Amino acid sequence: MRRKVYVDGAGVRVPFTEVVLSGDHAPVRLYDTSGPGSDPAEGLPELRKPWRRGRTQLAAARAGIVTPEMEFAAIREGVDVEVVRSEIAAGRAVLPANVNHPESEPMVIGSRFLVKVNANIGTSAVTSSVAEEVEKLTWATRWGADTVMDLSTGPRIHQTREAIVRNSPVPIGTVPIYQALEKVKGDPLKLTWELFRQTVIEQAEQGVDYMTIHAGVLLEYVPLAAERVTGIVSRGGSIMAAWCLAEHRENFLYTHFRELCEIFREYDITFSLGDGLRPGSIADANDEAQFAELRTLGELTHIAWEYDVQVMVEGPGHVPMHKIKENVDRQVELCGGAPFYTLGPLATDIAPAYDHITSAIGAAMIGWFGTAMLCYVTPKEHLGLPDKDDVKAGMIAYKIAAHAADLAKGHPGAQEWDDALSRARFDFRWEDQFELALDPETARSYHDQTLPADAAKTAHFCSMCGPKFCSMKISHELREAGMKAKSSEFVDAGGRVYLPVTGA
């Protein structure tokens, strides 16, 4: 059985999912992003309203102040709040929390903490509706999304975002250039700084917690992408590149970056510095266009920090396994340890319709190497807009990748989940095994497909091997038959009773 429980801290009450196990096995507590639940028409309760204050989380952290947000996030992570404060102060972690998004439950993103997963949703000109997107939001957080990006394009961008922010218990990210482009009816050449600035303020007022800003796509870098196999694959990147080349002027996001910092500081919006020149294919990975932009993102990171504005830096994309680590190493060096936030990367291009898997491979590895948040990829990547099933498939693949990374990083407590599940498996506690699974319903239904009877839920075997061939059953019989006693007796007796086969 699963149930929601709360842990009290100094002025905060933090939700967890508790998995109650059979017999006297201790329950297991899991990080819970699903929020309090609500009627979409009403919106969520304003949890953070009483906490609101006049400075950014970064400014507070630097001043040695522990905010309720930090306290909340520390309890979720199971770490001392001083770790949260000091990592934020150093710029190595961010706590995205727009003052106008009081509905959100605070969380922290940084390489010292649990690896996070972002889910992208959003309408396009071709398909989807506001109600559908709110449903996807709720669905994504139910499967563990730590943040959600609303990437809506097409009509109704403002209303879609309003519905999403008011109903989101997790931080919401956007890419404001999409809405700016809608305002000029899709013609990048009509974009101006003033129009962009107004769009950012509009979204800031709504409560967007972090925004992707493609300020690193400099005019001089665009030619570097000309000979690529897949050119520029970032929507925002291609829009800014088109503007730069047509105007033959520098990217206005770069030239007005300090003004953006001032706006972001006012709302405590976190920068997600977009990698507009990320590689869109294995052939283009780790090329000069990509790394040139990364150097500029490093420069911008340090500028944002001057303004007490929090920063994440976005990363690729499509990268073969042997080139993944270099991405993290360079990012850490150039961006002063600011959290890295990567899209996959996909470890191969050959499997459209399975890019949740091609990218979970790269995501797990890059998470291990130090990426703080992974942007999920769904099976529909490269093919179409994800529906609810795709959102779930993407989330599951990425929760696997993130948890595998937590294990590999030796994150305190991460392995307890694996151990609890494996102990349930070894004990043939089938119901406990299902409840501890990332997706209990599917695990149960797969088991039922071949052995549907209730009796099979207590059987000491499954349909894979049948009763005679179950290694775990035999292991238990060995153990129960006094294997340990026999073993020590055997070891005491010298431990070797045979002639080595290598002998004459």
**Residue that the structure tokens 């949703």 belong to:** 121
Peptide bond into 337 cis (omega under 30): no
Least distance between a copy of itself and beta carbon 66 (Å): 32
Q: Is 483 within any annotated ligand binding site?
A: no
Closest by CA position to 309, among listed 260, 256, 267, 264? 264
Q: Annotation-wise, does 460 bind a ligand? A: no
Q: Which of 23, 54, 454, 471 binds a copy of itself (CB under 8 A)?
A: 471
| Segment interacting with a copy of itself (CB under 8 A) among 6-14, 110-118, 157-165, 430-438 | 430-438
Q: State yes or no: 370 annotated in a binding site.
A: no
Residues 72 and 105: beta-carbon distance below 8 Å: yes
| Least distance from a copy of itself to the Cβ atom of residue 40, Å | 24
Taking the CA atoms of 362, 365, 371 and 375 in sequence, report the sign of the dihedral they define: positive
CA quadruple 230, 338, 267, 176: dihedral, nearest 10 = 0
| DSSP state letters, 211-256 | EEE-TT--GGGGGGGTT-SS----HHHHHHHHHHHHHTS--HHHHT
The answer to whether 261 is annotated as binding is: no
In DSSP notation, 37-49 reads: ---TTT----TTG
- Smallest distance, Å, CB 276 to a copy of itself? 9
Residue 223 binds a copy of itself (CB under 8 A): yes
- Residue 339 contacts a copy of itself per CB under 8 A: no
Question: Which span sits near a copy of itself by CB under 8 A: 9-17, 136-144, 199-207, 375-383?
Answer: 375-383
Per rule CB under 8 A, is residue 24 in the interface with a copy of itself? Answer: no
φ/ψ of residue 281, rounded to 5: -160, 160
Question: Binding to a copy of itself (CB under 8 A): which residues in 260-299?
Answer: 280-283, 299
- Identity of the residue, 25 or 53, whose beta carbon is nearer to a copy of itself in the bound complex: 25
The 3-state DSSP class for residue 500 equals coil
Identify the residue among 17, 38, 230, 286 touching a copy of itself (CB under 8 A).
230
To a copy of itself, the closest distance from the beta carbon of 22 in angstroms equals: 17
To the question of whether residue 13 is assigned a binding role by annotation, the answer is no
Q: Is 391 in the site for a copy of itself (CB under 8 A)?
A: no
- Tokens matching residue 391: 């959102």
Coil, helix or strand at residue 34: coil
Q: Report CA-CA distances (Å) from 144 to 117, 141, 416, 494.
A: 8, 5, 18, 53
Q: Based on the shown chain and the rule CB under 8 A, indicate whether residue 21 belongs to the binding site for a copy of itself.
A: no
Binding to a copy of itself, residues 233-262 (CB under 8 A) = 233-235, 237-239, 241-242, 245, 248-250, 254-255, 257-258
Q: Hey, which residues between 405 and 424 contact a copy of itself (CB under 8 A)?
A: 405, 407-410, 415, 417-419, 421-423
- The residue from 201, 219, 263, 292 that contacts a copy of itself (CB under 8 A) is 219
SS3 of 446-478: HHHHHCCCHHHHCCCCCCCCCHHHCHHHHHHHH
Instruction: Determine, following the binding rule CB under 8 A, whether residue 156 of this chain makes contact with a copy of itself.
Output: no
Please, what is the Cα angle at 215 between 257 and 116, to 5 degrees?
105
Start-to-end CA span in the chain (Å): 60
Which residue shows structure tokens 């306290």? 71
User: Is residue 225 part of the contact set for a copy of itself (CB under 8 A)?
Assistant: yes
Residue 125 binds to a copy of itself (criterion: CB under 8 A) = yes
Q: To the nearest whole angstrom, how small is the minimum distance from the Cβ of residue 236 to a copy of itself?
A: 8
Q: Which of 46, 135, 287, 349 is the binder for a copy of itself (CB under 8 A)?
A: 349
CB atoms within 10 A of CB 166: 20
- Is residue 235 a known part of a binding site? yes
Does 447 help bind a copy of itself (rule: CB under 8 A)?
Answer: yes
Binding positions for a copy of itself, 54-113, rule CB under 8 A:
none
β pairing state of 270-273 and 210-213: parallel
Task: Name the minimum Å distance from CB 332 to a copy of itself.
Answer: 18
Q: Which stretch binds a copy of itself (CB under 8 A): 3-11, 48-56, 133-141, 445-453?
A: 445-453
Q: Which residues are annotated as part of the binding site for Zn(2+)?
A: 318, 382
